[in-house]
Every structure is written in C-alpha cells, then in structure tokens.
Amino acid sequence: MGSTASTSTSTSRSEHQSSSRSVDEVPTDMSGRRPRRGDLIEIFRGSYRHWAVYVGDGSVVHLVVPSFNSITVITQRGVVREENLRAVVGNDQWQINNSLDSTHNPRPADVIVTEARSWVGREITYHSIRSNCEHFATERRYGVSASQQVPQGVENFARAWDTVTDTVTDTVTDTVNNAVTNAATVIHAVTNPATVTAGLGRLW
C-alpha cells in the first residue's frame, strides 16, 4: 500500500510538472499575460496591426496575405493558417485584446477554436478595409466581423463604393451586350440572302 501511495503521489507530481512545462511554453504578451483558447491576439507591426485567434498549445489561426504591404494592398487572395504563436509574432510586440467583449458577447472557447480551425487551409478574399485579418479574428470570437483599426465611416464608404462600382459594371455590361446583340441583328439582316433579294427587288 505504501508503494501504491508513493506511486500515486509521484504520478500526480509528474503530471503537475508536465503541466507546468506546458504552460511555460506558452509565451506571455507585453503585459505578462498568457493567452487562453479563444483569445484574440493583436500584433503590432509598424503601420498596421495583425490579428490572430489563439487556439491553444501555443498556436494561433490567422488570415495570411502573401507579400503584404499595408500601403499598397487593397484586395487580394489570402489563406488561413494555423501556426506557432512565437513564430507568427517574431520580434514584434503583441497583446491579448478582447476589448470588444464590452459590446459583443464572446462565444464559448470550444466554438471559437473549432470554427477557427475549420477555416485552416482555405483561400478567401482579403480586403484591407472590409475583410482583413482583424475581421476574420473577430468573426470567429463574436460571430460578427469588426475592425477597430478601420474607422466605421471608412468601412461604410468602402461598402457603398463597392455597390456603386458593381452597379456601374452591370450597367456597362448590359449596354455592351445590347450593342453587340443589335449589331449582330443588323449584320444578320444585311447578309441574309432573302433580305438582300427583297431589297434588290424593291430597287427594280
């Protein structure tokens, strides 16, 4: 019995030490806090901030854009990846930022993590104003996309502009299609033997 108790105590201590090592492997943010599953990670990168969702075991899920340039990139294709938090952060400062919890109800951690991981490997459209990495992260946590680094007025303008350009594009497309159809009708009429014969008959 003594041996069994000793083994039990040893196992418990071993598990605790293993757990401690696991916790120690998770980095701390600029305020000394360790992230928990479902937390949003804000990374400071000069002129912009990159966002990710912490999914546990030192990993994050985030929207990545190849050759990103915060000045020139407006829209392009991005891919969702799960990567090590330390590798993503590099030498940049970062923090846990769930500040929208004050106005939005965060979903359960399991839901956030499961949904975030379900996007891994998928290509989606990145738009710096209305569909950026922060929009992706906040939508996973709250079910609603939002971006604190994009003023609401700018975002509304971008959406309105997209509506206008879509309308103009549709109008131009319809006009061109109608012109082509009319031209085809005229060409057919001119080259139709019956039409030519009838026209010559009227001349005679």
**Residue 141, Cβ neighbours under 10 Å: how many?**
24
Query: Which residue is associated with the tokens 């159809």?
Result: 181
d(CA 76, CA 68): 10
Residues 6 or more apart from 99 whose CB is under 8 A from it? 148
Let me know if 62 is a catalytic residue.
yes
Residues 6 or more apart from 73 whose CB is under 8 A from it? 65, 126, 128
**Dihedral (C-alpha) 107, 108, 114, 115: value to the nearest 10 degrees?**
-10
Selected catalytic residue, list 16, 50, 127, 188: 50
Selected catalytic residue, list 127, 133, 135, 188: 133
38 neighbors 54 (Cβ within 8 angstroms): yes
Selected catalytic residue, list 16, 62, 104, 127: 62
Let me know if 104 is a catalytic residue.
no
DSSP 3-state of 151: coil
d(CA 22, CA 185): 75
Let me know if 133 is a catalytic residue.
yes
Query: Which residue is associated with the tokens 């509506």?
Result: 163
Q: Mind telling me the catalytic residues? A: 50, 62, 133
